[in-house]
Structure 1
Amino acid sequence: MSYMSELSQSNEYLSFRSSIPLRKIIVDSDSSKAWKIFDSGPKSVSCPLVCLPPVSGTADIFFKQVMGLASRGVRVIAAEPPPYWNMKEWCDGFKRLLDYLELHKVHLFGASLGGFIAQKFTEITKNCPRVASLVLCNTFTDTSVFEYNDSAALFWLLPSLVLKRMLMGNFTTDKVDRRMAESIDFMVERLESLTQTELASRLTINCSPCYVQPHLLTNIPITVMDVWDESALCSRVREDVYKSYPHAKLAHLKSGGNFPYLSRSDEVNLHLLVSLICIYVLNTHILV
């Protein structure tokens, strides 16, 4: 019998899985590729919050955002991509997903790689904007910070076990509180569920030479969400994000580790809600 984490056995997670269906949506010519999404909240909301996971994450890692914010009237979509091997492929696929869902614009909440891709998608679509705002959690602006830059082109050859070990090295082994320990266990469980192709494709995008051009993202509201305790990204990487977006709102959490959307979901959800409310008030003011 396979190990099950406490979070995946919790009443909240079980309620999430029983009440919100996992949808598989094919938008590519390759019918074996399907986006996996959980979509909750009022379907009348045409500009929802879309959550994008890190390398090791699946769509359900955002179950606390989906459940918590949907109950406040926010439409939340947790989205997990099929294997894409470069940034253009990924962004083209995401555009097709938004078109399929009939969403002209979305708010993006991206964690780690999800945050980097959210920035690149905003940049790539700047001439025909699809992003209303960005919330960037524990993320980066340049893939050169990763040690595997030179070997990214070979990830497709590596066994799943090797790829998983590469990622496990980023999970803290220090003593952490119960909620953080539970979030790590849950993420390890999700990581174990990913296939070699899923992991290799994500790591290839994560480590292939690429960087954000922040000056192209100045026209939308940006919130940088960060934890003050230890996470996989060093302080220099965090500082680079701050310098890239000097006018961004800062959402600091005293603790939370690599996965605050799980370990500190109440605080994260509050910051997300405040961000969305501020944008709504601003837009209403502009229209008036």
Structure 2
Amino acid sequence: MSYVSDLSQSQEYLSFRSSVPLRRIVVDSDNTKGWRIYDCGPKKVRCPLVCIPSVSGTADIFFKQALALSAKGIRVISAEAPVYWNVKEWCEGFKKLLDYLDLHKVHIFGSSLGGYLAQKFAEYTVNCPRVASLILCNTFTDTSIFNNHDSAAIFWILPALVLKRMVMSNFTTEKVDPHIIEAIDFMVERLDSIPQTELASRLTLNCLRGYVEVHKLASLPITVIDVFDECALSSNVREELYKCYPSAKLAHLKSGGNFPYLSRSEEVNLHLQIHLRQFDGTPLSASEQPLLNRSH
């Protein structure tokens, strides 16, 4: 029997699943490959916030962002990719997805691998920009931090159980914070649902040799959301990210673990709103109305 977490039985999650349909969108010639997306908020918004998950995440891990922000008139799309074996393929697929959805530019919120891919996509489309801004959470600019480039070549043949154990080795926490434990349980449940090929492809993207050409992203508005407690990335990796983007806004959370968008959703949602507010009243607004008259 599959593992069932408390969060997936919560009223909030059940309300999200019952009110927001999961769409499967095929953009490649291979009909078996489809992006899975949840699209929340006003469809007339042409520059929405797109959320890209980590290795272990499915599109629904951002349900707390989707519900809270769409209630404030912000369009939020959470997108989970099909199987791609290299970053260029992923970027090409994501570009086709945006074309299909008729979105010329988007703001991207990426966590861990999602943050790395968001940066690579901004770099990939630098000559014809498709990224309006980035919000990076617990992420990196260089895959050399994983020290397993050689293993990346064999992930595709490893059993799902082995791949899942590799991912879960980063989930451990000594904290007894109930929200962090609840978030980990939910992510374990999501990880359990990911087929072997998809998990192998994500781990391959995560570990193939690569780095972001950060100079190409110098003009982008960027916010970095980081936690100060234990998470899978070391403080050196965090410091490296700050150095790469000296003009980025830093949003520090005292705690939150690997998945602050679940365990500290209110704080994360506030930082997302602050980041997006700078675009209100412009063609790059992620919300339906300018929201300039709010009292707070």
TM-score range, shorter chain: over 0.9
8 Å CA contact 2:111–2:138 kept in 1: the answer is: yes
The alignment covers a number of residue pairs equal to 284
Q: Which residue of 1 aligns with 2:265?
A: 265
Letter in 2 for 1:202: R
Say which SS state the counterpart of residue 108 (structure 2) adopts: strand
For residues 12 and 278 of structure 1, the distance between their equivalents in structure 2, rounded to whole angstroms, comes to 29
For residues 220 and 3 of structure 1, the distance between their equivalents in structure 2, rounded to whole angstroms, comes to 41
Q: Which residue of 2 aligns with 1:219?
A: 219
Q: Which residue of 2 aligns with 1:121?
A: 121
Range with bigger deviation, 272-281 or 138-147: 272-281
Instruction: Please report how far the alpha carbon of residue 129 of structure 1 lies from its aligned counterpart in structure 2 after TM superposition.
Output: 0.2
Range with bigger deviation, 58-67 or 213-222: 213-222
TM-score by length of 2: 0.94
For residues 102 and 176 of structure 1, the distance between their equivalents in structure 2, rounded to whole angstroms, comes to 44
Q: Which residue of 1 aligns with 2:244?
A: 244
Say which SS state the counterpart of residue 280 (structure 2) adopts: helix
Instruction: Please report how far the alpha carbon of residue 211 of structure 1 lies from its aligned counterpart in structure 2 after TM superposition.
Output: 0.1
For residues 223 and 271 of structure 1, the distance between their equivalents in structure 2, rounded to whole angstroms, comes to 8
For residues 70 and 168 of structure 1, the distance between their equivalents in structure 2, rounded to whole angstroms, comes to 31
User: 1:219-248 deviations in whole A, cap 9, x for unaligned?
Assistant: 110001100101000011001000000000
Kindly report which structure 2 residues correspond to 1:78-89, keeping only aligned pairs within 5 A, or say none.
Answer: 78-89=78-89
Q: Which residue of 2 aligns with 1:11?
A: 11
For residues 282 and 252 of structure 2, the distance between their equivalents in structure 1, rounded to whole angstroms, comes to 22
For residues 91 and 205 of structure 2, the distance between their equivalents in structure 1, rounded to whole angstroms, comes to 12
Say which SS state the counterpart of residue 77 (structure 2) adopts: strand
For residues 50 and 175 of structure 1, the distance between their equivalents in structure 2, rounded to whole angstroms, comes to 30
Say which SS state the counterpart of residue 110 (structure 2) adopts: strand
For residues 56 and 162 of structure 2, the distance between their equivalents in structure 1, rounded to whole angstroms, comes to 14
For residues 279 and 218 of structure 1, the distance between their equivalents in structure 2, rounded to whole angstroms, comes to 18
Range with bigger deviation, 135-144 or 145-154: 145-154
Q: Which residue of 1 aligns with 2:201?
A: 201
Instruction: Please report how far the alpha carbon of residue 149 of structure 1 lies from its aligned counterpart in structure 2 after TM superposition.
Output: 1.6
Matched, 1:278 2:243: no
Q: Which residue of 2 aligns with 1:107?
A: 107
Say which SS state the counterpart of residue 269 (structure 1) adopts: helix
For residues 282 and 140 of structure 1, the distance between their equivalents in structure 2, rounded to whole angstroms, comes to 30
Letter in 2 for 1:189: E
User: 1:62-103 deviations in whole A, cap 9, x for unaligned?
Assistant: 000000100000000000000100001000000000000000
For residues 2 and 115 of structure 2, the distance between their equivalents in structure 1, rounded to whole angstroms, comes to 31
Matched, 1:133 2:133: yes
Larger helix share, 1 or 2: 1
Q: Which residue of 1 aligns with 2:294?
A: none
For residues 269 and 281 of structure 2, the distance between their equivalents in structure 1, rounded to whole angstroms, comes to 18
Q: Which has the higher contact order (CA 8 A, sep 6+)?
A: 2
8 Å CA contact 2:231–2:257 kept in 1: the answer is: yes
Instruction: Please report how far the alpha carbon of residue 173 of structure 1 lies from its aligned counterpart in structure 2 after TM superposition.
Output: 3.1
Q: Which residue of 2 aligns with 1:229?
A: 229
8 Å CA contact 1:221–1:279 kept in 2: the answer is: no
8 Å CA contact 2:3–2:192 kept in 1: the answer is: no
Instruction: Please report how far the alpha carbon of residue 151 of structure 1 lies from its aligned counterpart in structure 2 after TM superposition.
Output: 1.2
Letter in 2 for 1:212: V
Instruction: Please report how far the alpha carbon of residue 172 of structure 1 lies from its aligned counterpart in structure 2 after TM superposition.
Output: 1.9
Say which SS state the counterpart of residue 279 (structure 2) adopts: helix
Provide runs of 4+ in structure 1 moved above 3 Å: 281-284
Letter in 2 for 1:273: Q
Say which SS state the counterpart of residue 109 (structure 2) adopts: strand
Kindly report which structure 2 residues correspond to 1:154-193, keeping only aligned pairs within 5 A, or say none.
Answer: 154-193=154-193
Instruction: Please report how far the alpha carbon of residue 278 of structure 1 lies from its aligned counterpart in structure 2 after TM superposition.
Output: 1.7
For residues 277 and 240 of structure 1, the distance between their equivalents in structure 2, rounded to whole angstroms, comes to 27
